[in-house]
A and B are shown apart, each in its own frame.
Chain A
């Protein structure tokens, strides 16, 4: 006898396919309907951040991740925020030796939108694990290895934005801090060195640095500890739309190799003893010693 949960899963997972020619035909009709719809008003003011965002949403998320990855490069970041130059090649080299960091990123497309939350665990040698929505995505050296939907308890295609973030993490040449900020500002920023913003920090132990677009009101803001030069937060803000990326970074000792192992994860996917929450955090250890999730009893 099937359980109600199994019946639901059977219904949800019942596969269907579609005819490719008909797909193309429907899409074509949609394009025509869209084109014949009301034209976009030409009186809209130029919105450079909007134009960038339109095509590069994933890059904003990637921006947060890359900037956060700098956090572990204490010396390098110190040089960066004091205006010194840092070669991305050096950053990459150092980044490969980073033992572990965790980033929690919230992103909103506009002021009224619900935030989307990403969690990223980065391990040695470019190993990455992401949690977004109901998915856990494993990556290595810029490629998605496997992705799983926890709700459906099956392997799925990775969330496109998660896949893009994993990709750009391994393409530092494309994503130096310089190119990153330039891409955010649609190439309009000339001076890309973040500048100290004394007004944004009330405490002396916090340093705040801004990279301001010269052509739009948007900016990137990095919050760093003055003494250690460790960044603890990052914000990308577009006042035109209220688009926002807020990121929080934590530092810890590295996680066990198994936490980045998709095969080990897959083996537990159908374990009825594992709740959805415990699967999302499966094999991950809280550095403080607490449980990442209840409901799973390790062997």
Chain B
């Protein structure tokens, strides 16, 4: 409901609603992008870009589902593209400058990770990409499995299995860390 009101206000020229959207979804989008990419600077770039793009289209933006789901999907798409580009660069061996683009230091460190998030994010890196996507979109994007299934072009059962296996793996990694 609040999101519909925020979009309604933005459609009518109320720029103050931007701050609320930003404040409301910043942390989860940063967590989501950082977990998917395991590259803080690249995650920050992606999230900033999503917010700015959203702001640029906010006057005509039409909300058909959940705003958080929409922003989370944007982040996941951007993360996918970023990873694909990185893999391509690795394969072709080009080019160091571009490859290093996401690793270059940002003007200020935006995301300050807690020890807990660093551990969680590290554990997330142990998951295959599909499982990582499902877990992050479900936990940080609050997306139902049905929507994730549409996005991944997979069946709901497959997505639910990915989530279950992903969570089991995370449990195992985090528990073993706890034991050591």
A residues lining the B interface (CB < 8 Å) = 1-2, 4, 7-8, 10-19, 21-23, 25-27, 29-31, 33-40, 50, 54, 57, 107-110, 113-116, 161, 241
Contact = CB atoms under 8 A, between A and B. Distances in A.
Contact of A29 (B52, B108, B139): B52
A18 B112 contact: yes
Nearest to B57: A37
Interface stretch (B9-17, B81-89, B91-99, B154-162): B9-17
B149 interface: no
A84 B120 CA distance: 64
Interface of B: 1-2, 4-5, 8-15, 18-19, 22, 26-27, 30-31, 34, 48, 51-60, 106-114, 116-117, 119-121, 135, 139-140, 167-168, 170-171, 174-175, 178
A14 B52 contact: no
Contacts of A40: 11-13, 59
B114 A16 contact: yes
Nearest to B170: A7
B58 A1 contact: no
Given A10-B174, A37-B58, A54-B9, A19 B108 contact: yes
5 contacts: A1-B171, A10-B116, A18-B110, A39-B13, A54-B14
Contact of B58 (A34, A108, A161): A34
B108 A8 contact: no
Nearest to B14: A54
Contacts of B175: 1-2
B15 A18 contact: no
Contact of A33 (B8, B56, B107, B120): B56
Given A30-B55, A33-B52, A34-B56, A14 B31 contact: yes
Contacts of B4: 109-110, 113
